[in-house]
Amino acid sequence: MYCKNCGNTMDDLATICVKCGVQKGVGNKYCHNCGKETDSDAAFCMSCGCAIANVSKTNEPKEATGSKSKIAAGLLGIFLGVFGVHNFYLGYTNKAIAQLLISVLSCGIFAVASAIWGLIEGILILTGSMNKDANGNPLV
């Protein structure tokens, strides 16, 4: 693996480049696969053909494709959290199925517990305490 900022060889377990001190994965000057210089707007390395994750001029990652809305997820948690809809939306399928089954199979007896669970998660999403979907993409 190579540093995307300076092109220096990096250990796979490293979190920062020892040559330039930049965090692993930040930068757009060099290919992380072959270490050759790349065009900052290119989607693929012209030397090895590897896909390049583009970053902006300020080295902040661009918004991931398919990013989920923080507001939508939070409101779904608050209003429909009893059925786990917010967790389905964010990709946490197992947790969503658990909330749905708690509400439906108990004939509503434990629905209050599931509703409180959804309300708390909705508030945590809106406050930013829960800020990633199941794929690790940040909520926008």
Residue 9 has pLDDT above 90, yes or no: no
pTM of the model: 0.56
97, 84 Cβ separation under 8 angstroms: yes
Cα–Cα distance, 60 to 84 (Å, whole number): 32
**Average pLDDT estimate for 54-71:** 62
**In which band, very low, low, confident or very high, does the pLDDT at 43 lie, cut at 50, 70 and 90?**
confident
Q: What is the separation of C-alpha 127 from the centre of its chain, rounded to a whole number of angstroms?
A: 17
Query: Residue 59: what pLDDT?
Result: 47
Cα–Cα distance, 80 to 70 (Å, whole number): 15
> Between these two residues, 94 and 38, which has the higher pLDDT value?
94
Residue 55 has pLDDT above 50, yes or no: no
Cα–Cα distance, 5 to 130 (Å, whole number): 30
Give 9's strand partners.
Answer: 2
Cα–Cα distance, 11 to 14 (Å, whole number): 5
Query: Residue 28: what pLDDT?
Result: 79
Q: Give residue-wise pLDDT tens across range 80-125.
A: 999 999 999 999 999 999 999 999 999 989 999 999 999 999 999 9
